[in-house]
Every structure is written in C-alpha cells, then in structure tokens.
Amino acid sequence: MASTISSPSSVSNVVFNRENPLLQNLHQPLGTKSWVVGMIITLLLPFLKCKWWSLLKLRNEVEVAVEVAEDVADVVEKVAEEAEKVAEEVADHSPEGGRLKEVATSVKNAAKEAIKDAQLAEAAIDKVEEVEKGLKSTIQSVGDEAIKDGLGA
C-alpha cells in the first residue's frame, strides 16, 4: 500500500501531524521543576568547571605523588633488606676485630634503619590513602544531599 504525495502541503501535513507520536510531547508545557533545574545548571556550570577543575587536577597530582612515594618506599625497603643480608654474610665471614667486619656491621645496622624508615613511610602513605577515601565519601555524600535539596526531592 504505497501512498503518493501529490503536493508539498500534503508532505507538511503528514510530517507535522499532531497524531505523530514523536511530536505529541512537544506541545506539553515544561514544569516549574524543569525550569528551576535548567537555571541552576546554567548558573553553576561555569563555576563548577573553574573551581572543580583545579581541585580535580590537584587531586590527580597528589594521587600520582602518593603512588610514586609508595613505589619508592617499596624499592628502598627491598634494597635495604638485600643490603642487610649481604652485610650480614660479609660480617659472618670476616675475621673478628677486622675493619671489614666493623664496616659490614655498620652497613647492616644502617640497612635495618632504612627498612624501619621505609615501613614508616608506607604506613604514613596508607594513612593518607585512608583519609583520602574518607574525604572522597564525605564529598560524595554532601554532593548527593545538595543535589537532592536542589531538585526538591
């Protein structure tokens, strides 16, 4: 059943017919809630872009710095453990009272201190990550409440 369109005016009648399901909702007025939400978004978007962008950039830089510090602490701890093992071997195989044994013992003690410091650094980094997660969840909950309050839900 092919229908032929005889004139351009019949094309517009077919396309812009009010019974067309695609166009039925265009004639309904928007609610006050939609207007308010649109105005709020329009007013806040420029501020959010400027303010939040710098905060997000800072947060990303801090995350990168924390990851690098974590990696450095891991490497320092591993190197110090290996240095302690080597120094202990050298000290065990050196003659008593010799200069080599004294140096190896000093290196071993320094390695133990480096291991402790690396473990303290890792613990501090873990605390920073915990605080970051808590802060992130707090910001998320405050943002969710602000959205609820702004939309009147």
CA atoms within 13 A on the CB side of 71: 6
CA 126 to chain centre: 16
| Dist CA 22 CA 38 (whole Å) | 23
pTM confidence score: 0.53
How much is the pLDDT for 113? 92
How much is the pLDDT for 21? 58
**Residue 21, SS3 per DSSP:** coil
How much is the pLDDT for 82? 92
Domains of the chain: 51-153 (1.10.287)
User: Rounded to a whole number, what is the largest CA-CA distance in the chain?
Assistant: 114
pLDDT tens sequence across 87-136 = 888 888 888 888 888 898 899 999 999 999 989 988 988 888 888 888 77
pLDDT tens sequence across 52-100 = 667 778 778 888 888 888 898 899 999 999 999 998 888 888 888 888 8
